[in-house]
């Protein structure tokens, strides 16, 4: 009997570990979760913010929550995200991240029409549409030109004028610099006269695996190869995934052969992609590669002004930030445009709530407050973020295997655990599959040295840090 039970439990466990690709295991009762929110945040915050959040999709390791506006999302993210995650985790431990989806009324209508427009070929189509809808608010009109994105922007526009002349167009650059925005803008521009497919590499993989499981590869191939404009976001995700690369390679070739335009984004240039087949890298580099750099202060100021204008128009309210305050925000926000917009939203939210014209001193206080907020950065969170960042399964990262592609991320995670949490070396060691504290010391030393000598390492560390701080 007990033997039977063990086997049963083991089976269950295995199932849990396969969560990566299994969609939607619904276990959360959203009403219960809301009750907990009410208790722990208090009725006032609950009524004005949390009540309006809906549960859109539930996956084993993350949730997609619906919110009414971008502003609402940014506010929630900057104030309550950690606590929300902590609360939902108490219902379902396997959750480690939350994504937000903005549910605007007119957007829902649009989606509806689109689904109807398409003739049903397979269910791939429906589920794809749910995820890979073009966002009407990320267009060329509101993409601000600056020195750092000038070339990427002008070639994105050229692609729309001369489809297939620059093929593929490959846009690379760090997190939050506008790659997805540009890809989306190209999609919007071309969608009227072309069959546009816009998908992230991660979703491409998801559908690929789902089709294999369902024995439905014919439809999968058909579906993607039918597009005349194929836009794929964050291609670095294919790193280390051999069969996915194989499939992508064939899709790529067949699209190019029939003259379809391909547009790709990535966080690095084609040749720097790790664990990607050489033939794919050279295919990716075979068209035009353009890159987006970090914004200079001029661009940041222009973006702030544009955002203010957008918010004023949308909410029909007057937002007055002095040039001095705008300059201050632009110079304070160092890493990327996503962060810049987040900071701006906080400042605006503050001035709205307190109904006053802000001075630089106010802003300093607000931002200090924001940066001082105790962020719950745990060893768990670091391990998850690092393994996601390098696209390696968490179990492999924690395993005893010593190959470089696993050992480096493991060391980086240990290094960050030391730097960003208050855990002691032995405690960190234990959390990494019971390693000795000397292993942790060695990791910290190695990564400290590498991040001083090696630009790539420095960049990786910074990006992971900003992921940890932002989410």
Written as six digits, the tokens of 15 are 């199932």
Q: Residues 134-163: x/- map of binding to ligand ADP (CB under 6 A)?
A: ----x---xxx----x--------------
Q: 442 or 465: whose CB is closer to Mg ion? A: 465
Q: Residues 387-426: x/- map of binding to ligand ADP (CB under 6 A)?
A: ----------------------------------------
Q: 141 or 192: whose CB is closer to ligand ADP? A: 141
CB 266, min distance to ligand ADP, A? 10
Q: Which of 102, 244, 294, 341 binds ligand ADP (CB under 6 A)?
A: 341
Grouping H, G, I as helix, E, B as strand and the rest as coil, residue 86 is: helix
Q: 144 or 428: whose CB is closer to ligand ADP? A: 144
**Spatial CB neighbours of 202, under 8 Å, sequence gap ≥ 6:** 234, 237
Instruction: Find out whether 413 and 383 touch, Cβ atoms under 8 Å.
Output: yes
Q: 152 or 444: whose CB is closer to ligand ADP? A: 152
> 337 contacts which partner out of ligand ADP, Mg ion, none, CB within 5 to 8 A by kind?
ligand ADP
CB atoms under 10 Å from CB of 403, counted, come to 9
Q: Which residue has tokens 């069959």?
A: 195
CB 178, min distance to Mg ion, A? 8
Cα–Cα distance, 98 to 78 (Å, whole number) = 13
Q: Give the CB-nearest residue to ligand ADP.
A: 178
Cα–Cα distance, 224 to 222 (Å, whole number) = 6
Grouping H, G, I as helix, E, B as strand and the rest as coil, residue 469 is: helix
Counting Cα atoms < 13 Å in the Cβ hemisphere of 198 gives: 22
Q: Residues 166-195: x/- map of binding to ligand ADP (CB under 6 A)?
A: -------x-xxxxxxx--------------
Q: Which residues pair with 57 in a beta bridge?
A: 64
CB 438, min distance to ligand ADP, A? 38
> 431 contacts which partner out of Mg ion, ligand ADP, none, CB within 5 to 8 A by kind?
none
Written as six digits, the tokens of 112 are 């509806």
Distance of CA 264 to the CA centre of its chain: 16
Note every long-range contact of 344-348, with CB atoms under 8 Å and residues 24 or more positions apart, other chains counting.
344/304, 344/307, 344/308, 345/71, 345/74, 345/75, 345/78, 346/74, 346/75, 346/78, 346/370, 347/321, 348/71, 348/308, 348/311, 348/319, 348/321
**Spatial CB neighbours of 286, under 8 Å, sequence gap ≥ 6:** 168
Cis status, amide bond into 297, omega within 30 of 0? no
CB 303, min distance to ligand ADP, A? 5
Q: 52 or 268: whose CB is closer to ligand ADP? A: 268
Q: In the 8-state DSSP scheme, what is residue 440?
A: H
Q: Which of 337, 348, 377, 420 binds ligand ADP (CB under 6 A)?
A: 337
- Subset of residues 166 to 185 that bind Mg ion, contact rule: CB under 5 A: 180
Instruction: Find out whether 206 and 21 touch, Cβ atoms under 8 Å.
Output: yes
Q: Which residue has tokens 């234990």?
A: 430
> 377 contacts which partner out of ligand ADP, Mg ion, none, CB within 5 to 8 A by kind?
none
CB 170, min distance to ligand ADP, A? 13
> 143 contacts which partner out of Mg ion, ligand ADP, none, CB within 5 to 8 A by kind?
ligand ADP
Cα–Cα distance, 88 to 95 (Å, whole number) = 8
Q: 236 or 351: whose CB is closer to Mg ion? A: 236
Q: Residues 298-317: x/- map of binding to ligand ADP (CB under 6 A)?
A: -----x--------------
Q: 337 or 417: whose CB is closer to Mg ion? A: 337
Q: Name the segment binding ligand ADP (CB under 6 A); options: 118-126, 215-223, 337-345, 389-397.
A: 337-345
- Subset of residues 359 to 388 that bind ligand ADP, contact rule: CB under 6 A: none
Q: Name the segment binding ligand ADP (CB under 6 A); options: 25-33, 155-163, 335-343, 454-462.
A: 335-343
Q: Residues 91-130: x/- map of binding to ligand ADP (CB under 6 A)?
A: ----------------------------------------
CB 171, min distance to Mg ion, A? 10
CB 281, min distance to ligand ADP, A? 20
Q: Does 227 bind Mg ion (CB under 5 A)?
A: no
Q: 334 or 445: whose CB is closer to ligand ADP? A: 334
The string of DSSP letters for 259-317 reads T-EEEEEESS-GGG-TT--HHHHHHHTTSEEEE-----HHHHHHHHHHHHHHHHHHHT-
CB 336, min distance to ligand ADP, A? 7
Q: Which residue has tokens 């009750």?
A: 35
Q: 8 or 315: whose CB is closer to ligand ADP? A: 315
Cα–Cα distance, 300 to 148 (Å, whole number) = 11
Residues that bind ligand ADP (CB under 6 A): 138, 142-144, 149, 173, 175-181, 303, 337-338, 341
Name the site residues for Mg ion (rule: CB under 5 A).
Answer: 180
């Amino acid at each position: 009997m007990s033997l039977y039970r063990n086997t049963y439990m083991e089976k269950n466990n295995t199932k849990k570990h396969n969560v990566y690709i299994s969609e939607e295991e619904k276990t959360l009762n959203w009403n219960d979760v809301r009750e907990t929110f009410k208790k722990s945040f208090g009725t006032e915050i609950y009524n004005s913010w949390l009540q309006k959040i809906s549960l859109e999709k539930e996956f084993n390791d993350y949730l997609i929550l619906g919110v009414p506006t971008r502003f609402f999302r940014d506010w929630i993210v900057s104030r309550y995200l950690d606590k929300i995650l902590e609360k939902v985790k108490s219902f379902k431990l396997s959750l480690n991240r939350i994504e937000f989806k903005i549910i605007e009324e007119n957007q829902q209508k649009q989606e509806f029409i689109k689904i109807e427009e398409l003739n049903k070929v397979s269910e791939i189509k429906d589920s794809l549409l749910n995820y890979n809808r073009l966002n009407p608010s990320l267009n060329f009109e509101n993409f601000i030109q600056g020195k750092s994105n000038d070339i990427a922007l002008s070639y994105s526009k050229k692609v729309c004028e001369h489809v297939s002349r620059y093929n593929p167009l490959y846009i690379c650059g760090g997190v939050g610099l506008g790659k997805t925005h540009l890809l989306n803008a190209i999609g919007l521009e071309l969608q009227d006269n072309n069959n546009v497919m816009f998908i992230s590499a991660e979703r491409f993989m998801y559908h690929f695996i789902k089709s294999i499981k369902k024995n439905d590869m014919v439809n999968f191939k058909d579906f993607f190869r039918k597009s005349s404009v194929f836009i794929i976001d964050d291609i670095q995700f294919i790193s280390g995934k051999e069969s996915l690369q194989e499939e992508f390679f064939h899709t790529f070739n067949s699209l190019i052969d029939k003259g379809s335009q391909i547009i790709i984004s990535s966080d690095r240039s084609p040749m720097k992609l790790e664990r990607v087949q050489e033939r794919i890298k050279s295919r990716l580099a075979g068209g035009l590669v353009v890159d987006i750099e970090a914004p200079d202060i001029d661009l940041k100021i222009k973006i702030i002004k544009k955002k203010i204008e957008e918010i004023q128009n949308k909410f029909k309210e007057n937002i007055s930030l002095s040039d001095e305050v705008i300059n201050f925000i632009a110079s304070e926000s160092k890493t990327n445009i996503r962060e810049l917009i987040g900071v701006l939203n906080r400042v605006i939210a503050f001035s709205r709530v307190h109904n006053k014209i802000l001075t630089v001193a106010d802003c300093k206080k607000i931002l200090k407050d924001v940066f001082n907020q105790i962020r719950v950065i745990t060893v768990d969170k670091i391990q998850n973020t690092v393994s996601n960042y390098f696209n390696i399964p968490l179990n492999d990262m924690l395993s005893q295997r010593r190959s470089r592609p696993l050992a480096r991320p493991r060391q980086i995670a240990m290094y960050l655990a030391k730097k960003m949490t208050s855990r002691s070396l032995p405690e960190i060691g234990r959390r990494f599959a019971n390693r000795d504290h000397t292993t942790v010391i060695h990791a910290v030393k190695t990564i400290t040295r590498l991040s001083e000598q090696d630009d790539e390492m420095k960049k990786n560390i910074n990006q992971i840090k900003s992921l940890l701080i932002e989410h």
